[in-house]
Chain A
Amino acid sequence: MALSREAYRALEDIVGPENISEEPAILDSYAFQWLAETIRPGQSKFMPRPEAAVLPGSTAEVQAIVKTCNRYKIKVKPYSTGWYFYCAPQTEGVIQLDMRRMDRILEIDERNMFAVVEPYVIAATLQAEVMKLGLNCNVTGAGASCSLLASATSYHGAGPSSIFGGENNQNLLSLEWVMPNGDILRTGSLGSGLGWFCGEGPGPSLRGIVRGMLGAKGGLGVFTKCALKLSPWPGPAELPVEGTVPAYNSPLPDNFRAYSLAFPSWENYFEAYYKIYDNEIGYIAHRQFSMLGTELGTAFWMLYNDPTKTLDDIEEFTQKPEIKKLTEEMKIAFQIVLAGLTPRHLEYQEKVLDEILADTGGWKVAAMSQPAMERFTLLYLIRLGHKNLNFVYNGGWLGTFMQAGPPDYVKGYRHIAEEVTEPYQKKGLLVDCGVDAMMGPVGSMGGGGNCALEQFGYYDVADKESTDAVVSWTKDCVKGAIDKGFVPGKGSHYLAMGMTREQRQSSYASAPWLGMYRWQRKIKGIIDPNDIGDELYPTLDEPGK
């Protein structure tokens, strides 16, 4: 369903001929999306091809495009840096807005600790700039190469540093939003022309219709600018990077410590979470290195830090006695970075951490505290620049579970994730890296209190059976959670991408919380009357319509 020439010309007039394309090869580059093979017919690696790719350079252009889409009844899907396959069109007949031209840091207010960014500002860019001023941004779990605006407005904004730096939903101040009807809404203080410092009000906070728990993933207009609260950075103005590719590391400033903390049992492990919350320590706290599986992960990290080795050497590494021992030691472990805002602050945190470890029977893993690993851990967690490793085993990765809640809640589903995963790994359909390939934030919100574990399944994107298996595994993960009373978790969102509209409607209608889909239909009716957004803003149809 190609765009009408009239519509195309209208869009071309807005952005100029150099910023719009209908070339199939270009359009396919947008449709080629990670995870597409799990939901598309014939395990295609391509999501539906957009009708055109349009690159706006300003809010005015975005608004003009959205108004044009309303006029011609064309669906529009914005895409900044992307993550998963959510930013691709779900159906035919959609134009893709590629936001890469809107990549400016518009303002950094050092004293009041916030920055104003456009959609294509990635975390690494902002982080590098604000570190010069003694500030930091919360890099989300999607990593340093992802859009901060997207994390704050359109998807989940938690990351390893959220315990200290807040979740990006919490950090969101004023924003500018081209709503699907083409109107521009500026929230909070910005709406009155008073700057970006506050996202709430006047009166009821219209941030309430911006995102909710997981955002609309591009399904509800285009967010063109936002302000994000920053947090203190007590490190150097430039993060020194050393080491050999790919295992870059950063020398540890005197006021930083990076530890892997291990525990004798899961009970003790989660008890430590509670004590960390109550004692308010930690700059970054995350279960990270287990993401590659507790059987293979430790060997992987060791060989990754040996420039003479490749992935082919992993079996050899797993056989080394010291690696075997370390693998056992690291099974129930997470990573923590302590940063002293002052020298006394670090000293205090160290003492408290030692007491917490004494209380919980935990310990600092000595091998991970060696200078090389400590430096590696520090850079890894501060920058989150190693997201390519999610794909390292054989090109495919999918995460399930990740239901956020207090530690006692997460403890309740952890074993379900293992039980569901085991048969798939034993059959070789998923990488047999250990049934616990779970990672997640110790504190997914500012100050903690909430955490999560995401179970990774590594599949072979070139193998039909393995790809089928990861879908089946995802369904089992969802079912396993629901059967025990938990919400479906992250996997259900992936699976929903493969549903037809009818299937989605049926799923919403049977959900115990279906009221929210009705309210969202009403909200969509207000701001997207021509339905130019997509179904990632879920709504339940009125009966009979």
Chain B
Amino acid sequence: MAGEKERLIGIVGKEHVLEAPEVLEAYSRDQGFVRPMKPWFVVEPESAAEVQKIVKWANETQTPLVPVSSSPPRFRGDTVPSLPGSVIVDLSRMNRIIRIDRRNRMIIIEPGVTYRQLQPALAREDLRLSTPLLPRPAKSVIASLLEREPTLVPRYNWSMPEPLRCLEVVWGNGEMLRTGEAGQYGSLESQWELGLAQVNSTGPGQVDYYRLMSAAQGTLGIATWASIKCEVLPKVHRLFFIPSPRLEGLIDCAYRLLRLRLGDEFLLLNSSNLAAILGGGASQTRALREELPPWVIIIGVAGRAKLPEERVEYQENDIRDIVQQFGLKLVSAVPGAGERAVLEAVLNPSPEPYWKLNCKGGCQDIFFLTTLNRTPEFLRTMYSVAVDLRYPTPEIGVYLQPQHQGTVCHCEFSLPFNREDSREMARTRELLSRASEALIEQGAFFSRPYGIWADMVYRRDAGAAGILKKLKEMFDPNGVLNPGKLCF
């Protein structure tokens, strides 16, 4: 064992092989309900070459590796070891922004680059990135995209892993591959000289490797850089609300706006979630929840390159006309929330503490994909199970994010709970389990099956599970990458 540790030290240096008890404890659990498991070591590589050596070492020593790139709080169990003797591969030192190409609106970044780090750097180059809803500041941008977390601007969502494009990957067997157009040429530098910018995500050849890597929870390979498509930084940015007492009252209007590709940021929130975003602590959040409208479409309108004011003006007028047709109102403030505050919030990473922890210190999410028209029925199911378990339904945060230009809708229920209260924890855990089963039974598509969802999901899709297991064997023949996750 000592020899194995020495080999790790030989790869990354002594100061980057961590084994202090408090460090191992920190990586042994997350905010969710997954069983804690202490890792053997934590290693911190700083280059793709080191990652490759670590993976080869793991194959030789049959050591499970758990890739991690974001700092805590973590929530989904995918970064907690499932097997004893695992080594955490913490990629946060690999935090270089390799290239910002304003002309092609493409960037290349390493996995340790966080939203907090990236957005200011992009702004200096007249760019920005469509983000998830208030991501954790220390959330890895690459991890977020690989996890297929929804982003706020559906019309930029040309395909589900957008804006992710090319990757450099170290597969579980230690081989390295560059995906997409990056895989077909020489070095990145020689590609840039020819005018390429790693825009095209497909291939190389007849395989879309980046799709295989998406939502893989680090089980197939470790991404060591990614190219990502950015947006032009808005010169003018407005934000509007379309409030409604009922979710059903917003659906038709949302569809019409999406059809016409109006708006940039486009999301639906209930008052609990909007309060959590704006609130500062439990009591303030609760008070705000009472003040806010029960449901709201939040729609941002940005003027970017040419005629920015005119774009915002025409869109505002068009949106207003349509909203009126549905008997709704387009407003720049609702009781308890104003345009600037919400715009500032949704365009930036979450302040500390993470917004979902604002209310009670803990939070369990249930999220899945569906179509927007079906969301009310899932909401009813969620509330119904919550009532059965006496979970307070007013506390449930709801976030609906149209994706793929409105064809798909991410539906997310957030369940705040007090981590200090064992009964509350147990109840939330039970709610997670029962609601997830009920929602899946009802037709919710848990496309990113973390934790307990994996069994529920792959039971229903044996065809996918069968092929995935064979692919896992191909890319990771010794099963060293994050064993115990998904159907592996």
Q: Is B220's CB under 8 angstroms from A519's CB?
A: no
Interface flags, B187-216, vs A, CB<8A=1, else 0: 000100111110110111111111111111
Q: Is A229's CB under 8 angstroms from B209's CB?
A: no
Q: Is A526's CB under 8 angstroms from B175's CB?
A: no
Interface flags, A200-236, vs B, CB<8A=1, else 0: 1111111111111111100010000000010110000
Distance of B83 from chain A, by nearest CB (Å) = 19
Interface residues of B in 351-385 (CB under 8 A from A): 369-373
> A450–B207 Cα gap in the complex (Å)?
19
Which B residues are in CB contact (< 8 Å) with A215? 206
> A485–B471 Cα gap in the complex (Å)?
33
Q: Is A449's CB under 8 angstroms from B229's CB?
A: yes
Q: Which of the segments B46-54, B89-97, B302-310 contacts the partner chain?
A: B302-310
A447/B447 contact (C-beta < 8 A), A279-B304, A409-B194 known:
no
Distance of A417 from chain B, by nearest CB (Å) = 15
Residue of B104, B200, B486 touching A203 (CB-CB under 8 A): B486
Q: Is A204's CB under 8 angstroms from B212's CB?
A: yes
Which A residues are in CB contact (< 8 Å) with B458? 202
> A10–B404 Cα gap in the complex (Å)?
44
Q: Which of the segments B8-16, B110-118, B157-165 contacts the partner chain?
A: B157-165
Q: Is A352's CB under 8 angstroms from B369's CB?
A: no
A445/B200 contact (C-beta < 8 A), A200-B160, A274-B103, A405-B181 known:
yes
> A447–B463 Cα gap in the complex (Å)?
34
Residue of B158, B190, B204, B407 touching A485 (CB-CB under 8 A): B190
Interface residues of A in 189-207 (CB under 8 A from B): 189, 191-195, 197-207
Which A residues are in CB contact (< 8 Å) with B447? 188-189, 198, 200-203
Q: Which of the segments A82-90, A94-102, A165-173, A316-324 contacts the partner chain?
A: A165-173
What residue in chain B is nearest A114 (Cβ atoms)? B407
Q: Is A206's CB under 8 angstroms from B215's CB?
A: no
In the assembled complex, B105 has its CB within 8 A of some CB on chain A: yes
In the assembled complex, B467 has its CB within 8 A of some CB on chain A: yes
Q: Which of the segments B286-294, B311-319, B334-342 contacts the partner chain?
A: B311-319
> A407–B466 Cα gap in the complex (Å)?
42
Q: Is B212's CB under 8 angstroms from A208's CB?
A: yes
Which B residues are in CB contact (< 8 Å) with A232? 259-261
Distance of B55 from chain A, by nearest CB (Å) = 16
Q: Is A275's CB under 8 angstroms from B305's CB?
A: yes
In the assembled complex, B41 has its CB within 8 A of some CB on chain A: no
In the assembled complex, B232 has its CB within 8 A of some CB on chain A: yes
Residue of A114, A195, A220, A278 touching B206 (CB-CB under 8 A): A220
In the assembled complex, B217 has its CB within 8 A of some CB on chain A: yes
Q: Is B317's CB under 8 angstroms from A344's CB?
A: yes
What residue in chain A is nearest B126 (Cβ atoms)? A278
Q: Is A486's CB under 8 angstroms from B194's CB?
A: yes
Q: Is B184's CB under 8 angstroms from A191's CB?
A: no
A166/B259 contact (C-beta < 8 A), A112-B407, A191-B464, A203-B216 known:
no
> A350–B267 Cα gap in the complex (Å)?
29
On chain B, the number of residues with a Cβ less than 8 Å from chain A's Cβ atoms is 92
Which B residues are in CB contact (< 8 Å) with A277? 105
Residue of B306, B314, B487 touching A345 (CB-CB under 8 A): B314
Which B residues are in CB contact (< 8 Å) with A405? 181, 194-197, 199-200
Distance of B147 from chain A, by nearest CB (Å) = 11
Residue of A202, A355, A408 touching B195 (CB-CB under 8 A): A408
Residue of B195, B259, B457, B467 touching A406 (CB-CB under 8 A): B195
Residue of A348, A408, A412 touching B310 (CB-CB under 8 A): A348
A512/B199 contact (C-beta < 8 A), A197-B408, A204-B468, A344-B318 known:
no
What residue in chain A is nearest B404 (Cβ atoms)? A229
Which B residues are in CB contact (< 8 Å) with A475? none
Q: Is A523's CB under 8 angstroms from B207's CB?
A: yes
What residue in chain A is nearest B204 (Cβ atoms)? A516
> A158–B55 Cα gap in the complex (Å)?
38
Distance of A524 from chain B, by nearest CB (Å) = 10
In the assembled complex, A347 has its CB within 8 A of some CB on chain B: yes
Identify which of A220, A446, A486 gathers the most chain B CB atoms within 10 Å of its CB.
Answer: A446
In the assembled complex, B136 has its CB within 8 A of some CB on chain A: no
Distance of A508 from chain B, by nearest CB (Å) = 10
In the assembled complex, A487 has its CB within 8 A of some CB on chain B: yes
Which B residues are in CB contact (< 8 Å) with A449? 104-106, 199, 229
A211/B209 contact (C-beta < 8 A), A197-B408, A203-B215, A344-B318 known:
no
> A74–B312 Cα gap in the complex (Å)?
61
> A203–B443 Cα gap in the complex (Å)?
17
> A537–B464 Cα gap in the complex (Å)?
21
Q: Is B314's CB under 8 angstroms from A208's CB?
A: no
What residue in chain A is nearest B212 (Cβ atoms)? A208
Q: Is B461's CB under 8 angstroms from A200's CB?
A: no
Q: Is A352's CB under 8 angstroms from B195's CB?
A: no
In the assembled complex, B7 has its CB within 8 A of some CB on chain A: no
> A310–B406 Cα gap in the complex (Å)?
47
What residue in chain A is nearest B220 (Cβ atoms)? A204
In the assembled complex, B448 has its CB within 8 A of some CB on chain A: yes
A355/B306 contact (C-beta < 8 A), A204-B212, A205-B215 known:
yes
Distance of B221 from chain A, by nearest CB (Å) = 10
Residue of A203, A212, A213 touching B487 (CB-CB under 8 A): A203
Which A residues are in CB contact (< 8 Å) with B460? 192-193
Which A residues are in CB contact (< 8 Å) with B448? 201-203
> A449–B159 Cα gap in the complex (Å)?
15
What residue in chain A is nearest B470 (Cβ atoms)? A526
Which B residues are in CB contact (< 8 Å) with A280? 304
* A residues at B contact (CB < 8 Å): 109, 111-114, 134, 166-167, 169-170, 173, 183-189, 191-195, 197-216, 220, 229, 231-232, 274-275, 277-280, 341-342, 344-345, 347-348, 351-352, 355-356, 404-412, 445-447, 449-450, 485-487, 512-513, 515-517, 519-520, 522-523, 526-527, 537-538
The 10 closest A-B pairs by CB, nearest first: A201-B447, A446-B158, A408-B195, A409-B195, A213-B203, A208-B212, A208-B211, A344-B314, A205-B211, A212-B206
Q: A201-B369, A204-B212, A519-B207 are in contact. List 4 more A-B contacts (CB 8 A).
A: A112-B406, A167-B158, A278-B105, A523-B471
